[in-house]
Amino acid sequence: MNVCIVGTGYVGLVTGVVFADLGNDVICVDKVQSKVDMLNAGVMPIYEPGLEELVSRNFAEDRLSFTTDIEDAVRRSEVIFIAVGTPPAADGSTDLSYVEAVAMDIAHAMNNYKVVVNKSTVPVGTGDFVRRTIEAHRKDGIPFDVVSNPEFLREGSAISDSMHPDRIVIGAPSRMVAMKLLELYAPLERPMVITDVTSSEMIKYASNAFLAVKITFANAIANICEEAGADVVQVTKGMGLDNRIGPSFLSAGIGYGGSCFPKDTLSLIQTAEQLGYDFEMLKATVRTNSAQPVRFVDRIKTVLGGLEGKTVAVLGLAFKGNTDDLRESKALEVVAALTDAGATVRAFDPVAMEPAKLLFPGVTYCKSAYEAVTGADAVAVVTEWNEFKHLNFERISSLLKGKIVFDGRNLYDPAQVRRNGLAYFGVGRPNHASEVCANGNGSKNGRSPVAAQLATA
């Protein structure tokens, strides 16, 4: 099948290369000439494991091409996917200006029947908006249909998620139109959900909002655990073994970020308000998530006795591991709060340091985690990169002046960290098992939690 993908961000580029790998002829369109030139030269504009190899193979075999010429691409294609950005507006609603611009370009270029697919994350009603836009600008009444086909990719595992999706959702005006998409996705042999366009649009937002609520619930439980002396890792493990709950997205930490959950929750809140419903539960989720990195930094400040003049090593800058995406990164919020409070930050991230330098030029960027911790008063681990999960804490202890570890993602076994002469502070975890058993408040014999931990390590 001849396919056009408009937009070469995470969603568009991954979608295009996967369709090409399934044997289709795919044209990826982007209005930025430099980005198209990079892709034609085999240089990826984003970091995503496995992406470069797939692009290289399908480009070499002439199934995948890149262009700025949307008119030619539309004319040569049967199915056109809109995969452009849908950033939040100032009030939290979704900015559809890029979607509208592409719809107008498609309308002007159409030469015969086309299936136009909204792949971008868009609010309920966007399918009708795109249909009206094309109708207003098409020539000679050329027929078309608009379909909703939301993506459910996770950055860092987008290729695998595209090849092995939990489900494929197709919202179409008729069964006949849906069959075009069914044909395209058939080689994946995955469950398909066929709905009307509006329900498909709602499935995407409802899914992301629910996951955001689940993460935030785990973080709220973690905050209670800190006060009670319980261990949220054990608590969520016990919860997750219940089939009605499940373990996914129950890991406590410094909050969700990235390009999807923050903007999608705000957009759904706005959609609900426009329809006359006050989505108070989701508003509370957004508020709680915003407070989580603040709570984490406040704990660092309390333990260190203030941040003015202190040096903190920050491991991780991207919003999650296996990506260089800094959008809505809670790690960057931690960096900002530390520097605003007078701390010196030494940072390391495996792939996201170059874009971070533009945002925080005053931070010292290091070549490794071990260089970052050298001479620091404490280390804060805030992104769950695999290489951070296997740090040598004996070496960390020899390099870290302050002997204090703040684990913002609960990556480590506290006992193992403490055995190397380090004080450990996780999210929703007791300061030390013996201290909690003694009095339940994380202190012992009037000593600070750090002194007590180091004394018993």
- Alpha carbon 279 to chain centroid, angstroms: 23
Q: What is the pTM of this model?
A: 0.89
Angle at 175 between CA 170 and CA 178, to 5 degrees: 35
Average pLDDT score over residue span 17-38: 96
Please report the pLDDT score of residue 445 as a whole number.
47
Per-residue pLDDT band for 91 (boundaries 50, 70, 90) equals confident
280 φ/ψ angles, rounded to the nearest 5 degrees: -65, -35
On the question of pLDDT at 133 being above 80, the answer is: yes
Average pLDDT score over residue span 305-318: 97
Per-residue pLDDT band for 396 (boundaries 50, 70, 90) equals very high
Average pLDDT score over residue span 324-350: 97
What are the start and end residues of each CATH 3.40.50.720 domain in the chain? 2-195, 227-456
- Alpha carbon 331 to chain centroid, angstroms: 12
Average pLDDT score over residue span 16-40: 96
Q: Within 13 Å of residue 401, how many CA atoms lie on the same side as its CB?
A: 11
Give the residue among 373, 341, 372 at the shortest CA–CA distance from 356. Answer: 372
Q: Is 260 a catalytic site residue?
A: yes
For 227-456, CATH gives 3.40.50.720
Strand order in the sheet with 168-171: 64-67, 25-29, 2-6, 79-82, 114-118, 144-148, 168-171, 192-195
Catalytic residue among 4, 28, 260, 366: 260
Average pLDDT score over residue span 49-63: 95
Please report the pLDDT score of residue 259 as a whole number.
86
CATH architecture of 2-195: 3-Layer(aba) Sandwich (3.40)
DSSP 188: G
Cβ pair 290, 213 in contact under 8 A:
no
Per-residue pLDDT band for 436 (boundaries 50, 70, 90) equals very low
69-89: per-residue pLDDT in tens? 999 999 999 999 999 999 988
Higher pLDDT, 430 or 28: 28
